Amino acid sequence: MHIVVCMKQVPRDNSVKINADLTINADGIEQIMNLFDEYAVEEALQWNEKLGGKVTVLSIGPEDWKEQIRRALAMGATDSLLLSDPAFTNLDTFGAARVAAAAIKKLGDVDLVLGGRNSTDDETGAFAPALARLLGWTQLTYVGKIVSLESGKIVAERHLEEVIETVEASLPAVVTVVKGINEPRYPSLLRIRKVAKVEIPTWSAADLGLSAADLTPALKLVNRVPPPPRPKGEMIEGKDAAEKVKKLVDKLMEAQVI
C-alpha cells in the first residue's frame, strides 16, 4: 500500500504576532510540523508497519521546509517529496490542492492520502476536501479511528461533535484525522542521522505541468479590518448585593436571556 501524507510546516502558534496591516508576522518564530499532520504521519506509519509498502511525506513550500520533512522521515516515513517553486509563494487553499493533486497523479500508484483535519495557521480545513475533489476520490474527514484498511477498501470512524459515524469507502481515498487518533512517536535518533543525508526529491511547477493560470488564487483579498469592538459592559449599581442581583435578574429577563 502506498500512503501519501500531506504535511504542512506552520509557525508555533502561541508566539506569532500580528502586523499593523493585520497579517500574521511569523518572523523569527519557530517552525513546527502542523499538529494534526503529525497524527496523520503516525497513522500512516502504523498502517505501513502492518501492511508494508511506502509512506511518502509530501509538502508544498520553500527549501527550508525540509527540516520538517526530515523529521517525518526520522519518525519512519520511507519516501519524501517537496513541491517547491517561486510560483507557489502565494497559493490559496485551492491552488495548494491543485499542486498536491498534480503531484499525487504524477506519483501514480497512491492508495490513500492522509492529512490533518486542518492547519493551525490558516485553519481553513478545506485543503483535503479540495484535493479529494480534484482527484475525484472519496473524502473521509474528521477520522478518529481507521478500523480497517485493505486493498481497495477503508473502514473508518468519523468523530463528529455529537456522533461517531462508521463509514466504508473504496480506495483510493483522502482522509483527514483528528487529534487523539494515536500518540505520535518521537523521531528515532538512529534514523535522524540516516535521513540527514537523504536527498529530498523536489518538483517544480514545470515538473508538475502546472501553468500560471492553475496557480492564480481564486479568491482576491480586497480589504482587511479588525472585527468591530465589543460593546461596553454595564455596571449595575445598588445599595447591597441583594439589590444588585435583583436588578441584574430583572435586566436579564427584560433582555429575554433568562
Partner 1 sequence: MDFTANYDMFLTEEHQILRRTVREFAEKEVAPFIREWDRSGAAMEGPETRPHIRPILKRMGELGLLGICLPTRLGGAGMDYLALAVVCEELERVDSFLRVVMSVHTGLNSLTLFQWGTEEQQRKYLIPQAKGEKIAAYCLTEPNSGTDAGAMLATARRDGDYYILNGEKTWISLADIADNFLVFAKTDPSKGNRGISCFIVERTMPGFSSQPIHGKLGVRAGNTGSVILEDVRVPVANRLGEEGEGFKIAMTALDNGRYTVAAGATGLIQASLEASIRYAKERQTFGVPIAEHQLVKRMISHMVRKLDTSRLLVYRAGWMKNQGRRNTRETTLAKWHATVSSFEAADDAIQIHGAYGYSDEYPVERYLRNARGAIIYEGTRELQELLQADFALGFRENKPLRRELPAYDPDEWA
Point out which residues bind partner 1 (CB under 8 A): 28-30, 32, 66-67, 70-71, 74, 186-190, 192-194, 196
CB of residue 27 to partner 1, shortest distance in Å: 9
> Collapsing DSSP states into helix, strand and coil, what is residue 124?
coil
* Nearest distance, CB of residue 207 and partner 1, angstroms: 24
3-state DSSP call for residue 148?
strand
**Nearer to partner 1 among residue 19 and residue 223 (C-beta):** 19
Nearer of residues 30 and 161 to partner 1, judged by Cβ:
30
- The distance of Cα 164 from the centroid of its chain, to the nearest Å, equals 21
Name which of 129 and 187 has its Cβ closer to partner 1: 187
Among 95, 115, 100, 78, which residue's Cα sits nearest to residue 1?
78
Between 18 and 248, CB nearer to partner 1: 18
Neighbours of 236 (CB within 10 A): 13
Q: Considering the complex, what minimum distance in angstroms separates the CB of residue 13 from partner 1?
A: 15
Contacts of 24 (CB under 8 A, 6+ apart): 11, 16, 17, 18, 121
Cα 142–chain centre separation: 11
Residue 192: CB minimum distance to partner 1, A: 5
